[in-house]
Amino acid sequence: MKFISWNIDSINAAVEHKSNRGEMTWQVLQKLAAEQPDVLAIQETKLRPSGLTSKQADALTELFGGYYRYVRSSTGRSGYSGTMMFTKIKPVNVTYPKLNAPEAMDLEGRVITLEFPHCYVTTVYTPNSGRKLDRLPQRMLWDDTYRDYLQKLNQHKPVIASGDFNVAHRDIDLKHPAANHHHAGFTDEERQKFTLLLHAGFTDTFRYLHPDQSGVYTWWSQISKTAKVNNSGWRIDYYLVSESLNQQIAAFNVVNTGERQDHAPIKLQMKSTFKL
């Protein structure tokens, strides 16, 4: 089975594709549709609280006809954050959980969970700690509540969790660790919380397959025009699975997005013996 996850940075920019970057985003979305994943997770949709416009819905239906679609928008801040999931197989249940996270984080549409007969498939858009780390204390509480949420799911069924976790875990997960130490996404605190998440019974699927591989990233800053050319990136998007699923992991890839900077989609493939 094939799973794809992507921080798209605006559904509307992709659908309208009036700018060069918007056109590149649309092309990537078309590429993902051609992949025909069993489950596709999208983060940072930036939709209004009312959800998709008719134009956006029609465009996505044209690309992903035959898929069940689930949308969660931010109700705390319009046009911000948000998540979406597509699945070929109808789930037995869909939840939009409240984690009892601090500030308005629970109102920002950050988590969707699909329950299937044999597992949960969930996606997350983890809050950024902010350029000046002004949101770091709240982010620490978010990490704790999210870890507790996944652990509770895992007590019932195995979990496949994807998304933009907004943290590079190890030095080899970004190009310039020394220069970025104590910056958002690479603070000691964020990295320690991610370690705790893994120790709670979850596997970083990329590292499971490639324990010491460097130079594989999922995000390149838009600010630096040469970030992608120089592969000066960060690995902050993940597929985590319950440890009980380790032997079912078949492959992990970062989808090539050409010249487009920002996030790239990630793809997880499970063995033929795996069933939702």
Catalytic residue among 106, 143, 164, 173: 164
Q: Is 125 a catalytic residue?
A: yes
Q: Is 107 exposed, middle or buried (0-12, 13-18, 19+ CB in 10 A)?
A: middle
Catalytic residue among 125, 146, 149, 217: 125
Straight-line distance from the first to the last Cα atom of the chain, in angstroms, rounded to the nearest whole number = 9
d(CA 264, CA 134): 27
Tokens linked to 179: 């220069």
With beta carbons less than 8 A apart as the criterion, state whether 99 and 146 touch.
yes
Tell me the CA distances in angstroms from 10 to 15, 43, 186, 276, one per residue in order. 9, 9, 24, 29
Alpha helices in the chain (DSSP H): 11-16, 20-35, 54-63, 136-154, 177-180, 188-199, 205-209
Helix/strand/coil (H, E, C) string of 216-268?
CCCEECCCCCCCCCCCCCECCEEEEEEHHHHHHEEEEEECCCCCCCEECCEEE
Per DSSP, what are the bridge partners of residue 68? 87
d(CA 57, CA 60): 5
Comparing CA positions, the residue from 42, 46, 48, 98 lying closest to residue 70 is 42
With beta carbons less than 8 A apart as the criterion, state whether 143 and 93 touch.
no
Q: Which residues are catalytic?
A: 125, 164
